[in-house]
A = this chain, B = another copy of it.
């Protein structure tokens, strides 16, 4: 039946490519998918036909026949506005995008906000409509990661949820980043260093606390609990925390904030109380966002290699997916990647 197919006006099919190259459909398919079991002559003939016809495989047909989608989803929890702020979101996307540029995988963007959308996503995943999932900004109690493990869908998470993360993950070295920042303050002669922490149910925030403590301990400095207040990652939280710190420990000479936004809040209070930065109090933030660059004075901050993290996530996921495809023997990458941070020194410290 298929014999007398006329060259339709539409896109060329594999069948047409095969006919033009004078080979069978199966052989053409082999060439296009890079199978080694094809002679060089044949390969060239098919390749020529592909080029002449401008053949592009039909994704849907391929997906249907091979039972895969050649797509991965980047799942973003929407209420998490922090993630949408610079620099996270766009940099992650860029990193992921660059890692996928040479692949013919598609990147699906999935924002999950309401519970209804979460349910939809779960259904989505259960229907195996993507080959893998990139999960960013996950809370410790989010059921999504477990769901993914149950469904046996390859997934990579950004930022570990704890120190015994089960999913493959990419994180930055929060402990070391914080330690370095505080060590820097110490090297500049600061001795009474406070820390405005993020929400401590976030593992990364815990690590930063640890780094802070470690730096103090190394220098043999006081690690008074009154020097540590939570700022909840918000500007208002940073303000409140700073006020409280000054009330309890007016002798402090430096503040390490767990985020630039909190540092901005802290700065306001410092100003209000007539304290100069860095004269009276040195200030360091975390994230190296636009706020840090444009603050007055410009804020020293810890930069995470977000784009690089996105790239690493994508690569990890792709290798994870490839490893599960039949015939592949490519060794799995080490599934827990921790990338180094960098202290960007400006005038606030």
Chain A residues proximal to chain B, CB less than 8 Å: 11, 54, 56, 58-61, 63-64, 69, 74, 78, 84-86, 89-91, 93-94, 97-98, 101, 106-111, 113, 117, 123-124, 126-129, 264, 289-291, 294-296
Contacts and interface: CB of A to CB of B under 8 A. Distances in A.
A73 to B, nearest CB: 9
Contacts of A58: 64, 127
Contacts of A101: 111, 113, 117
A89 B93 CA distance: 10
A128 B58 CA distance: 9
A151 to B, nearest CB: 11
A113 B11 CA distance: 26
Contacts of A117: 101
Given A54-B123, A60-B69, A289-B290, 15 more contacts: A56-B124, A60-B64, A63-B63, A78-B94, A78-B97, A84-B94, A85-B290, A89-B89, A90-B90, A93-B111, A94-B111, A98-B113, A106-B108, A108-B108, A291-B291
Closest 8 pairs (CB-CB, A-B): A60-B63, A56-B127, A97-B111, A296-B296, A60-B64, A84-B90, A86-B86, A109-B109
Contacts of A124: 56
Contact of A90 (B54, B89, B126, B127): B89
Contacts of A93: 89, 109, 111
Contacts of A56: 123-124, 126-127, 129
B289 A127 contact: no
A129 B59 contact: yes
A63 B86 CA distance: 36
5 contacts: A58-B127, A59-B127, A93-B111, A106-B108, A289-B290
A78 B107 CA distance: 15
Nearest to A107: B109
Contacts of A296: 295-296
A74 B86 CA distance: 20
B128 A86 contact: no
A200 to B, nearest CB: 25
A273 to B, nearest CB: 16
A313 to B, nearest CB: 14
A264 B106 contact: no
A51 to B, nearest CB: 12
A128 B11 contact: yes
Contacts of A59: 60, 63, 69, 127, 129
Contacts of A84: 90-91, 94
Contact of A61 (B11, B54, B64, B294): B64
A234 to B, nearest CB: 13
A294 B264 contact: yes
A120 B91 CA distance: 22
